[in-house]
């Protein structure tokens, strides 16, 4: 079984790989000011950007470098994304605005965290979160991530410079 065949289920979510048919849904989910502000995704995130993102996902998954999952509750309609960088043991997540506040992100992050520890034998997972991203911090804390004492990483992206704090989850 290849990594692209993996589907994860539990906690009332189903994580599945993105397909080319998801491009319009990606636009709906990711073409928002808050996603543009908090993530490295291009803005505007139009259909061409979604198709390029899908090609990048295919390359990194085929190369064994990352796993990108659409967050769903029914296996069909994407509500967000959770990704796992297999080289850095780091993860990221984001939900469409209509799906926030339902515990969906925490359930998806818990599911991929358990998969990383149990199936992929990754002893630690990391998340880098801006200090003022309270929603993302709440998700990390709910799943059991702990803030490290590492110095913040300073990042410049899209003309904005900001700091990222490192959170860790140990198996």
Q: What is the DSSP letter of 21?
A: G
User: 76: domain CATH number?
Assistant: 3.40.630.30
- Determine the pLDDT at residue 6: 80
Count how many domains the chain has: 1
Q: Is residue 163 part of a domain?
A: no
- The residue among 5 and 1 whose pLDDT is bigger is 5
Q: Is residue 165 part of a domain?
A: no
Mean pLDDT confidence for 55-72 = 96
Query: Over 146-167, what HEC string results?
Result: EECCCCCEEEEECCEEEEEEEE
Write the pLDDT tens digit of every residue in 99-132: 999 999 999 999 999 999 999 999 999 999 999 9
d(CA 156, CA 40): 10
Domain that holds residue 98: 3-122
d(CA 100, CA 142): 15
Q: Is residue 142 part of a domain?
A: no
The end-to-end CA distance of the chain, in Å, is 24
- Determine the pLDDT at residue 156: 95
Q: Is residue 83 part of a domain?
A: yes
pTM: 0.94
Q: What is the DSSP letter of 123?
A: S
Give the tokens for residue 18. Answer: 């993105």
d(CA 43, CA 45): 5
Q: Is residue 160 part of a domain?
A: no
Residue 69 has pLDDT above 90, yes or no: yes
Q: Is residue 17 part of a domain?
A: yes
Q: What is the DSSP string of 41-68?
A: S-SS--HHHHHHHHHHHHHHHHTTSEEE
């Amino acid at each position: 079984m290849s990594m692209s065949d993996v589907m994860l289920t539990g906690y009332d979510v189903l994580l599945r790989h993105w397909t080319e048919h998801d491009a319009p849904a990606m636009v709906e989910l990711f073409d928002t000011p808050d996603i543009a502000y908090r993530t490295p995704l291009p803005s505007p995130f139009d259909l061409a950007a979604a198709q390029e993102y899908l090609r990048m996902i295919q390359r990194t998954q085929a190369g064994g470098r990352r796993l990108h999952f659409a967050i769903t509750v029914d296996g069909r309609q994407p509500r967000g994304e959770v990704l796992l960088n297999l080289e850095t043991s780091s993860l990221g997540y984001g939900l469409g605005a209509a799906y926030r506040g339902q515990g969906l992100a925490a359930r998806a992050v818990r599911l991929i965290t358990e998969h990383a520890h149990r199936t992929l034998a990754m002893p630690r997972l990391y998340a880098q979160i801006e200090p003022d991203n309270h929603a993302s911090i709440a998700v990390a804390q709910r799943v059991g991530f702990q803030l490290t004492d590492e110095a913040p990483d300073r990042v410049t992206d899209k003309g904005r410079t900001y700091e990222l704090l490192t959170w860790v989850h140990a198996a």
